[in-house]
Amino acid sequence: MVMSHRWVWLIPLLLAVRLAGAQQQLTSSVFPEASSGLADGSGAVPAAVSTALVVTPPPIERNSAHYSLWPRPYVDGGLSLMQGGYSPAAGNLAAGLNIEAPGFIALAAASVDDGHKLDSGTGYDTYLEARAFLRLGRGWYGGGGAQWNKLITDAYSKQAWRPTFGGGKDVFRDDFSLRAQVLYVLPGTDRLNASQGPEISVWWPSPATNRHLFYYQTVAIYGAHQTSVPGDPGTNVRYLNTFASFTIMYRF
């Protein structure tokens, strides 16, 4: 029994030798260029290896906010689904400028669609809009602006200026971002139909990111009355019309 105790000190020594061999094998497999340093007995990992571990760049955050005072031009186009005496579907095109600054958002655009009126079988709409919003914190923003539209057919035309107000929110996550917005469009100078109502829009990804390609859609629900004519203001006949647009936007 006394003799066995004399060899107990060999156990930790053998374990230490075994652990050192396993560590050398692991280091050689992960860092082949470090094997020469271990072989000469220095046991040091070359500086190039340790430096590479320190200066690895962080991943690019493509879904985070990117603010700038520089106006960015854009173009877009898509499909519009229409009511209110229009043909069921029309194509739309637009061009504009967008500013996503640290403290505000600004937008100016001109657009056109080929929506035909059912009563004449002809027609198209032109639009101008300008909007500005203040950032309120936590992704929220609020503001408003004005827009003008004109309907032109072979038989008649209509046009009006309309104030707008509302706001929205930018949402940022690791794997996606989006912007949701609600505006209310007032009748303004529209004396013929007094059309007004909410517009709900969603962009993916959010325009506050430094992206070029976006998808967005808008659903509008407008209340209006029958077109006023001499002797009949049309206010006794009211209706709701729903419009929806599905658009791809490219921002330069």
Q: Where are the domains of the chain?
A: 2-54, 72-251
Report yes or no on whether pTM surpasses 0.85.
Answer: no
Fold of 72-251: Lipocalin (2.40.128)
pLDDT per position in the chain (252 positions), as tens? 444 444 444 555 554 555 455 455 544 544 444 444 434 444 444 444 444 444 455 454 578 899 999 999 999 999 999 998 999 999 999 999 999 999 999 999 999 999 999 988 999 999 999 999 999 999 999 999 999 999 999 999 999 999 999 999 999 998 999 999 999 999 999 999 999 999 999 999 999 999 999 999 999 999 999 988 888 888 899 999 999 999 999 999
Q: How far apart are CA 164 and CA 129, in angstroms?
A: 10
Torsion of CA 126, 142, 102, 94, to 10 degrees: -10
